[in-house]
Every structure is written in structure tokens, then in C-alpha cells.
Structure 1
Amino acid sequence: MTAKPRTREVVMGRHVQARDVRVWTEQVGDGPDVLLIGGLGDTVESWQFQLDGLADRYRITAFDNRGAGRTARPPGELTLAAIADDAAAVLSSLDIDSAHVAGFSGGSLIAQELALRHPHRVRSLVLQSTFATADEYMRTQFRALHWQAELAPGPREFLEGFFTWVYTPRAHNDGTVARFIDEVMVFPHPQGTEDFRAFADACLAHDARGRLGGISVPTLVLAGGADALTRPDLGRAVAAEIPGALFEVMAGEAHQPFQEVPGAWNDRVHAFWQDTGRQSADPGRG
């Protein structure tokens, strides 16, 4: 349930059938394929700075997770594996053989599962604010989010508290967060509390320890140095388990630098994707 900075006046999107659910999908740009996967309660709009800032170099696809935005959550337990299968089905529906995949927070967990379950669909991975499994500190944070979502006086008050975990003091103090919240409040497809809690529970159930070594594509793990939710040590542990993965800390940034400093974030992932492309073109390069 993060900020949704919509700058495009015309929404170029549609539902595509992905197994048992119709997934809202948007696609912009032209070039190598990129798939963006959002996190807890997030929709296409969470990636607006990338849809606007990278479409001159890539064909970018983003989608609303099941239970968020314009994608319904079918009855039954919500699992990240199911959303990973949705992601693979979205690529298939759009006739995309494989893509560079980037995910943040819960979306990075889905990206992990996508690379493990459908390796032929993934050219490379960017994992922002990621973890292999939640430790007790994070579980306590998520339990607090559960009761905050239930007991907050209203959606705005919940977001004001939740976003202290997500954005830097800089973004709160300069009015950026207030603007983001204003945009969320007028978003016509808000997420319900039960869907929010179902996704949070799915994130807490995630445990990729001992499995991440099965990811064989080039991987960049990014962490915010000031991220108190998905701390850098959690991301470092993910990178340590994935063969050849790069791990970098964005000093002074919090949970979502792709929104707070999108220029720097876009430049870094573009450089990574370019380098990945060069390595693919030169099999002898190690």
C-alpha cells in the first residue's frame, strides 16, 4: 500500500488472463523486456517513475498483484508462489519469452519465486529491499502493521504511520510523503484490509533459505542504508546465497529509493541491465 504517483493522463492498460485470475497489466516503451513486480498492496502506479523514466530504453510491463488495485484476489490462501505463477502467465499472455525482472519488498520475494519456478522467463533479477525469510524483529513489525491496519482511525492515519517505515525523514519533511498520501487517497481502487493482511501473511510465510542457490541469472540486490524494515543485513544474506550476485547499499535511503531518488535508481539498474546484455552477447566473458 505504497505511494502511487500517477503522472500519465492516459492509462494504457488492460486485463490479461493469468490462470484463475484476470490481472491488470500496463505496458509502455520499446526495447528489451522488463517486468516490474510491486510489493505489499502495490499496483502499477508504484512504478510510475520507472514507467516514465525507462520507457525510452525498454519495453516495461507492470501489473497489479492479486488482491491489489484492479486485480481481484480469488478465494483461498494467498501465496507468493501463486503470484509468481501469475507473473509467468502475464509474460506468456503478452508473448514475452523472458524479461529482466525487478521487484521491491514483497515484490522482490515474488521475483525470487519467479526465478526459481520459471527460470526460463527471467533474464536477470533486481531485488530491492529484499530478504530470504523474516526474522523475529521483522515479524514483530508485521504484527504491528496488522493491528494498525485494523485500528487506525482511517486510511490516511494508517498511511501516515506506515510510511514512517517506508520513506526517509527527508521525504516526510519536504512534503513528498504528504503528496504521495494525497494521491493514494484519491486512487479509485483501494486495497481492503483483509487483502492487505493476506499479502502480509504471505510475505511472512516466505522462506527461500537453502533455495536461492538455484537462481542462476545475473542478480543485483539493492538495500537502503536507512531501511529499518528490510535491513541491509537481510539483503546481504540473500546476495550471499545467489551465485555471483552483486550487493549494494544506497547510503541514506530507506525502503523505496526507486521512488525517492528515481534518477539514481534508474541509472543503476539500467547500467546493470546493459552489462547483463553484454555478458549474454559475449559468452566467454566471466
Structure 2
Amino acid sequence: MPMIDVDGLAFHVRIDGRDDAPPLMLGNSLSSNLSMWDPQMAGLAERYRVIRYDHRGHGRSAAPEGPYSMDRLGQDALAIMDALGVAQAHWCGLSMGGMTGMWLLTHAPDRIGRAVLANTAAHMGPPDLWNGRIRTATRGGMEALVDGTIQRWFKPGFAERDPAMIADVRAMILGTPVAGYQGCCAAIRDMDQREAIRGIRAPVLVIVGAHDPATTPAAGQLIAEAISGAQAVTLDGAHLSNLEQPKAFTRAVLEFLG
């Protein structure tokens, strides 16, 4: 589990799969870490050199005071690729990871082969929503946010069906540094990629959660319609569709990447 220096900050990176396999980079959601991809690893690592990392302010990566920007999050991903000698990689990102993927596709198109944009949005307003979450984290830490986050992330009843999964997710959210959460909230608050993504020419798969209240099916449809030739698939889940529907999610990714 190497630590990679990006502009003087340590980023936690994990690599699975054969060194000579095609590289696939994974980008995690707000309030999570690279372990959110554990259910996908057995399938993905059979075919790809899978590069996972904790976003700035998350997991074991550095959590400097924000605010952050989508430019900064995208540049972090490029710096990790550079440090590993990866000229081009496929990308699979969920929520904030999908937003980072859109930035990469528009600002560094030669670095990304095929891209999966899952449970994500090109714009997420209003600003008061994100400012409110930033204030809540200041007052009560991640403890004040964890219950509402879990409610958005999973369909009603899932917590009762898989309490062990929910316990792991709760620990992941609570382990997110407040400064990192707030910095990334600011990046999402200030992001608007609705026009920029119209210029994307890479092959793209948009994965939508049919019951996602955060990045709604309409938000996914907007992305799919804006990107020429984009494919779309809808899964029977809420926001973290890769955890709620792990087999279907992994199958969709593998079928698209080829």
C-alpha cells in the first residue's frame, strides 16, 4: 500500500492485478475511501492493473484545509498516474469519483481510455445545500452527518438486510477527516461541468441508481445525453450502487471495458 507524494502531500494508493495488465483507475465517493471498491476487486483485478487511491482529504491521504476545487482533484489523479508511469488508463468513478472522471475526460482526454461514470452528476446545486453540510460538519463532525448519508446511499430496508455492510460504511464515513469532507463539499458546490462534457469523445458508460436521491436518474440522463455515443445502464439501487448491487455493477463495468 504505497504512499505517493503529490505536491508535498501524501496520497494513499493501492494496486491490484498484474503489472502488465491494462491500467484501470478507480475514484471513490465523498465520505468514503478506496475500500468502497472491495466488492469489485476480484472481478476487476483478473483483467486489469487496478489503481485505487484515497481522494485528497479522505482515508489515509492527506487532508489539508480547503476549500478544494474539481481542478485540484483532477490534478491529483494525474499526478498519481505520473508517479506510477501510467500514460493512459481506463477510469471508473462513483459520485465524486465520477465528477473527477468528467474533469479528466475534458481536461486531459489523452490520459483516459474508456470511462465509467457511476451515480454522479455534472452539477449539484444549490450552493446552500453544500454550505449547510460544511456548517454541520463544523458543529458536529462526521457524527452529525453519518445517519443522513447512509439514508441517501442505500435503498430503504438495505440496512436490515446487510447490517455488516452498513457497519463498515458507517466506520468509513466517520473516519473521513472533517477538513477533507468540507474541502470536497466546496469542490462539488462550485462545480459545473454541464457544458464542458459535451466535448467528450472517449467511450463512456453512465451507471445510474434507479432509487438514487443524491445524484438522481435525471442527473445521469443529462450526462448520457450530453456525451456523444455514451451508453447508460440503470441498476436497482440507490447512491452506492456498487455496494448495493455489486455483481450487476461489476458485470456492467467489465462488459463495457471489454
User: Could you state the TM-score of these two structures normalised by the residue count of structure 2?
Assistant: 0.90
Contact 1:33/1:99 (CA < 8 Å) preserved in 2?
yes
For 1:83 and 1:100, the matched residues in 2 are separated by 17
Question: Which whole-Å CA distance do the structure 2 matches of 1:43 and 1:153 have between them?
Answer: 17
Give the drift of 1:244: 1.0
1:15 and 1:22 in contact (8 A); partners too: yes
| 1:211 counterpart residue number | 196
Q: Verify: 1:169 aligned to 2:159, yes or no.
A: no
Question: Residue in 1 aligned with 2:104?
Answer: 114
SS at structure 2 position matched to 1:228: coil
Partners of 1:19 and 1:185 lie apart in 2 by 31
Structure 1 match to 2:182: 197
Gaps of 5+ in 1: 1-12, 275-286
Q: Which amino acid aligns with 1:15?
A: M
Q: 2:10 aligns with which of 22, 36, 41?
A: 22
CA distance in 2, matches of 1:159, 1:77: 21
Instruction: Give the distance between the partners of 2:104 and 2:226, measured in 1 at CA.
Output: 16
Of residues 62, 76, 97, the one that matches 1:72 is: 62
User: Match of 1:125?
Assistant: 115
Alignment map for 1:1-150 (pairs within 5 Å): 13-30=1-18, 31-136=21-126, 139=127, 141-143=129-131, 145-150=133-138
- Which SS does the other structure have where 1:34 is aligned? strand
Identify if the C-alpha distance between structure 1 residues 238 and 20 changes in structure 2 by more than 3 Å, giving closer, same or farther.
Answer: farther
Structure 2 unaligned residues grouped into runs of 5+: none
Q: Which residue in the other structure is 1:264 paired with? A: 248
Greater RCO (Cα-Cα under 8 Å, separation 6 or more): 2
Q: Distance in 1 between matches of 2:142 and 2:28?
A: 24
Measured against aligned partners, the alpha-carbon deviations of 1:193-213 in whole angstroms (never above 9, x if no partner) come to 232122112111110121112
Asked if the contact 2:146–2:170 (Cα under 8 Å) also holds between the matched residues in 1, the reply is no
* Residue type of the alignment partner of 2:203: P
| Shift in CA distance, 141/180, structure 1 to aligned 2, threshold 3 Å | farther
Moved beyond 4 Å, runs of 4+: 150-154, 184-187
State whether residues 108 and 129 of structure 1, in contact with CA within 8 Å, keep that contact through their aligned partners in structure 2.
yes
Q: Does 1:229 pair with 2:214?
A: yes
- Equivalent pairs: percent with the same residue? 25
Q: CA deviation at 1:154?
A: 7.0
TM-score normalised by structure 1 residue count: 0.82
Shift of residue 29, structure 1, vs aligned partner: 0.9
The answer (yes or no) to whether the contact 2:203–2:230 under 8 Å persists in 1 is yes
Cα distance 1:164–1:76, how it changes in 2: closer, same or farther (>3 A)? Answer: closer
Distance apart, 1:39 and its partner CA: 1.6
Highest Rg: 1 or 2?
1
Amino acid at match of 2:94: F
Task: Note if contact 2:66-2:179 (Cα within 8 Å) is conserved in structure 1.
Answer: no
Q: Distance in 2 between matches of 1:202 and 1:154?
A: 18
Aligned residues: 256
The letter of the residue matching 1:52 is: A
| Cα shift at 1:164 | 0.3
RMSD in angstroms over aligned alpha carbons? 2.3
Gap change, CA 1:133 and 1:185, over 3 Å in 2: closer
